[in-house]
Amino acid sequence: MGLLDVFRASRKKAGSASLAKERLQILVAHDRAFRNRPSYLPKLQQEILAVIRKYVEVDMDAVSVNYEQDETQEILELNIVLPDSGGRG
Amino acid sequence: MARIIVITSGKGGVGKTTTAAAMAMGLAQRGHRTAVIDFDVGLRNLDLIMGCERRVVYDFVNVINGEANLNQALIRDKRCDSLYVLPASQTRDKEALTQEGVGKVLEELGKGYDYIVCDSPAGIEHGATMAMYFADDAVVVTNPEVSSVRDSDRMLGILASKSRRAETGEEPIKEHLLLTRYSPQRVERGEMLSVQDVQEILSLNLIGVIPESPAVLNASNAGIPVVLDIESSAGKAYNDMVSRYLGEDLPMRFVEAERKGIFSRFFGG
């Protein structure tokens, strides 16, 4: 690689625009996924947690609610982590 | 019934008012009866850009409150007979724009005009949502810069969910992307997001690219919409935007950096 090539290569890569594009693509994808979620999700998560805690002692973060959407279907995923040694009763 | 076009962006200072003035003047010059409305209650500026600030007597809020009728408030442009301006109020009460009131004014205007251009305030507050609620078409004005692109994407979400068309289940608002303050030289150096980059991120129909140009500031200094400065690159690009909106298929201009020959480098051509 000659001196001229080094100069050219560094010129091509030097710009910050590609960094901007990369950051934006991630951010916009995240924003859009969040935007399409139903607004009842946080409340749903809270209430499910309250019901479970009536019977089983679990941490506040034991319930996770995930929502995904593709062309044909919507998936509501509930994940409840129960403690190893069972509950109160 | 008139077609309602909202000029929106989310972020401030990207060229919404300049674009609204250009779109309205461009449509009117092509013979369409056009009204342009300033929705920026409390911070009106469209009158300044249009050069009719000293002729404002009544405003949008006066009409909504029944203190004046539409014909008293509309200012006829001195350069183009088919263009009218409805200025915003300087009142600080932003809630003065009620959905019912805005709807009534647009409906009445719609009977006598072909196009109504709504100049939205920045942000996602009341004034901005009112400007887009009744829209048929939207021009999302974006600078090739991270915060502007992100805010534009936010606006797309709001356009898709909080509009009359979304609520009544009609065909959604037709969205167009307008890139402003574009500098092909900086894009070539890799310092600025390119047209393709922004389009890829937002996946929107591109209606125009307006190059960074001193003509824009000159035009607003003088109160003459830059679209009338047909010698300037920005003026030409805005004219192309209007033609494309009306269905013409034109190639994008001013998106490639100018190649300066040795001769013009030496003599500053």
User: In this predicted structure, which of A20-24, A43-47, B6-10 has the lowest mean pLDDT?
Assistant: A43-47
Q: Which of B121, B129, B115 shows the shortest CA–CA distance to B88?
A: B121
Contact B187 A17 (CB under 8 A): yes
Does pLDDT of A88 surpass 70? no
Contacts of B200 in chain A (CB under 8 A): 21, 25
Q: Do A23 and B202 touch (CB under 8 A)?
A: no
Identify the CA nearest to B36 among candidates B136, B122, B113, B133.
B113
pLDDT at B34 over 80: yes
User: Can you tell me the distance from the alpha carbon of B112 to that of B96, in angstroms, rounded to the nearest whole number?
Assistant: 24
Instruction: With beta carbons under 8 A apart, name residues in chain A contacting B202.
Output: 28
The strand ranges marked E within chain A are 63-69, 74-80
pLDDT per residue as tens digits for the range B126-181: 999 999 999 999 999 999 999 999 999 999 999 998 999 999 999 999 999 999 99
Half-sphere exposure of B56 (CA within 13 A, CB side): 22
Question: What is the rounded CA–CA span in Å between residue B147 and residue B153?
Answer: 10
What pLDDT shows up at residue A60? 82
Phi-psi region of B163 (alpha: psi -120 to 50; beta: other; left: phi over 0): beta
Q: State whether residue B193 sits within 8 Å of chain A by CB.
A: yes
Kindly indicate the confidence band of residue B265, based on its pLDDT and cuts at 50, 70 and 90: low
CATH of domain A22-89: 3.30.1070.10
**Which chain A residues in 17-46 lie under 8 Å from chain B, judged by CB atoms?**
17-18, 20-21, 23-25, 27-28, 31-32, 35
All residues of chain B having their beta carbon less than 8 Å from the beta carbon of residue A20 are 145-146, 193, 197
Q: Which of A21, A25, A31, A34 to mutate to test the interface with B (most CBs of B within 10 A)?
A: A21
B185: Cβ–Cβ under 8 A, 6 or more apart, which residues? B257
Closest residue of A to B158, CA-based?
A35
Note whether A12 contacts B154, CB cutoff 8 Å: no
Domain map (residue ranges) of chain A: 22-89
